[in-house]
Each structure stands twice: as C-alpha cells, then as structure tokens.
Amino acid sequence: MLSVRLDRVFALCYRYFLVLSRSSFRVMDIVFWPVMDLLVWGFVSSYFAKSGGVMSPAVSFLVGGIIFFNVLYRAQQSISVSFLEDLWSRNLLSIFVSPITVAEFVSATYAVGVAQSVMVTIIMSLMASLLYAFDIFSMSWYLIPLFVNLLVMGWWLGLGTTGFILRYGYQAEALAWAVPFLLQPVSAVFYPVAVLPTALQAVAWLLPSTYVFEGMRNILQGGSDSTSTMYLIKASVFNLFYWTGTVLFFGKMLSRARERGSLAKIVV
C-alpha cells in the first residue's frame, strides 16, 4: 500500500524521539562518535599540514569528508537500526498489525534520518569552523545537492540492509553497522579515486558517494562549475537507479517474510 498519512508518520517519528530521549547511550552513539572522528582526524591532518607533510587543502578535504560521510552513515543507521530496535523490543508485529502501512513506516525512518543527519552536520560544522577554520558554507549552493545525494544513498543502503535482515534474520544484523564502512574505501571519502587500484576504480565509479566526494573536493579547490555539476548529476542518476532497486528488493523480502511467516519467527 503506497498511501501515506502524515499524522501516522508524525506519530512514528514522535515515538522514535521518545525512545531516543530516554536512552542516553543512543544519543551518545549518534553524537559522540562523529565528534570523536572529527577531533581525531582533524588534529591528525592539522599536524601533517603544520609539519609540511600535507598541503593545507588536504585538511579541508579530510574534514569535509568526515562531515559528509556521517550524513550517509546516519541516514543509513536511522532505517536499519530503527528496524532492529523494533525487532529487539518485539514491537514490529504491533506496528504491522496496526493501520500503519509499510510506506508510512519507511517514511518515518526517512524523516528520522534527515533529523539525525542535520543535527550531526550542524554540530560537526560548528566544531570544524572553530577548530580547523573550515567553512562548510564556502561550498555555496552545492552544499544542498551534496547533502541530499548522501542522504538518499543512506536511505537505500538502510532499506537494502533491512531487506537482508528480513531474509536472513538476526545473523544479518551486523550489516546494519558494517555496510557503510565496507563502501567507504571505494567511495573516495578522504582521497581521489586515482589513488585506488584500477580494478577498484571501476567499482568506485559505480557508487553515488564517489561522485559526491570527488565533487566536494573539486568545489573546495575551486574547480570548474561544470565539472562539479556533472559529478552531482551522475550521483543523482545512480541514486535513483539504486533506490528504485532497493525499494523493489525490500518489498519482495517483506512479502516473502509475510507469506512464510518468517517475520513472526524473527520477532519471537
């Protein structure tokens, strides 16, 4: 069922907010690790820059990469971890026997992902500005499509991960944390694609995140607008393709779980 009622989506979002507000450990997981990444790698890059080991633009590349990768990671986590929390609390069946549709459930996790990503981006951007003189707004209007493309990629990654959990049960739950980091080395987050071996370069150019991070570096070093725009267009096309595929995959896995009764088995 594809219809979406906003009041139900809002109710689910409010529920997730209450769950987070009552768990200091979950809040720490959302905020603490991104901040630690920024502090550690930001200071490391500053040290190399001051010692002459790295050109100063590399500091901006690294700090920008950390901030934007967390956008992708938080968007993915909001879907897959929210689903797992409903499994752990045995609340998933209660959701799906209610009038709430799958589209409303997924839409709520999307909205939670947006909220988490925006919050983490604001915190990290303020810290980057104070500690490393990194101005995220120097990317001008490009900031929005860069953010949105990573957000959408996080959405379809989370949906795909959830589909595998529906298919294989608890043994696949490690994917909820592992998938973004499995793609990180070939996404050119901290370095150009040219650094990768030739075989991995071919894989890298199949990922929307690669175009986003290459575009980010091109923008920060004052490259041509046409090149940056082309990177963003390619990222959008790949995101649309993969998002469509994961929606179909998730729908198939959910239907299969319902038909075989495996959804109830996972919960119980």
CA distance 121 to 246: 26
Higher pLDDT, residue 3 or 8: 8
The confidence score (pLDDT) of residue 244 equals 94
- At residue 262, the pLDDT reads 65
> Residue ranges of the domains in the chain?
6-267
Residues 135-168: tens digit of each pLDDT = 898 888 999 999 999 999 999 999 999 999 888 8
Q: Residue 243 CB: number of other CB atoms within 10 A?
A: 18
| pLDDT tens profile 213-258 | 999 999 988 888 899 999 999 999 999 999 999 999 998 888 887 7
Give the mean pLDDT of the chain.
85
CA-wise closest residue to 108 among 88, 129, 83, 91: 83
DSSP state of 185: G
CB neighbour class for 172 (10 Å; exposed up to 12, middle 13-18, buried from 19): middle
CA distance 214 to 193: 8
Q: pTM score, two decimals?
A: 0.88
Least confident of 11-15, 182-186, 236-240, 248-252: 11-15
Q: Which helix (H) or strand (E) element contains residue 188?
A: none
* Cβ pair 186, 210 in contact under 8 A: yes
